Amino acid sequence: MSYLRVVIAPSGFKESLSAEEVADAIALGVRAACPNADIRTLPLVDGGEGFTKTLTQCTGGVLHSCTVTGPVGQPVEASVGILGGKGARTAVIEMAAAAGLRLVPRSERNPLVTTTYGVGELIRYALDLQAERILIGCGDSGTNDGGMGMAEALGARFLRADGSPVSRGGQGLIEIARIDLSGLDPRLKTVPIDVACNMHNLLCGERGVARVFGPQKGATPEQVRLLEQGLAHFASIIMRDIGLDVRFIPGGGASGGLGAGLHAFLGARLHNRYAIVMQYLDLDRHLASADLVITAEGAIDEQTPYGKIPAEVARRAQRHGVPVIALAGTVGAGAEASYTCGIAALQSIVRGPCSLDEAIRDARALTAACAETVMRVILVGQRMAQKRHMMRDRRRMQAAVVA
Which domains does the chain possess? 5-44+285-392 (3.40.50.10350), 51-276 (3.90.1510.10)
Predicted TM-score of the model (pTM): 0.84
pLDDT digits (tens, 9 = 90+) for 253-289: 999 999 999 999 999 999 999 989 888 888 999 999 9
| pLDDT recorded at residue 159 | 98
Tell me, rounded to whole angstroms, the distance of Cα 283 from its chain centroid: 16
> CB burial class (10 A; 0-12, 13-18, 19+) of residue 106?
exposed
DSSP helix/strand/coil, 262 = helix
DSSP helix/strand/coil, 156 = coil
Cβ atoms of residues 97 and 122 within 8 Å = yes
pLDDT digits (tens, 9 = 90+) for 64-117: 999 999 999 999 999 999 999 888 999 999 999 999 999 999 999 999 999 999
pLDDT digits (tens, 9 = 90+) for 373-392: 999 999 998 888 888 877 78
- φ/ψ of residue 263, rounded to 5: -70, -45
pLDDT digits (tens, 9 = 90+) for 195-232: 999 999 999 999 999 999 999 999 999 999 999 999 99
> CB burial class (10 A; 0-12, 13-18, 19+) of residue 1?
exposed
Amino acid letter for position 299 = A
What are residue 195's DSSP bridge partners? 136, 270
> If pLDDT is split at 50, 70 and 90, which confidence band does 403 have?
low
The DSSP call for residue 305 is T
- 63 contacts: CB under 8 Å, gap ≥ 6: 52, 53, 56, 79, 80, 81
pLDDT of 2 higher than 70: no
| pLDDT recorded at residue 353 | 81
| pLDDT recorded at residue 236 | 98
The DSSP call for residue 372 is H
Cα dihedral 171/172/174/178 (nearest 10):
180
Share of residues in the chain with pLDDT > 90 (%): 82
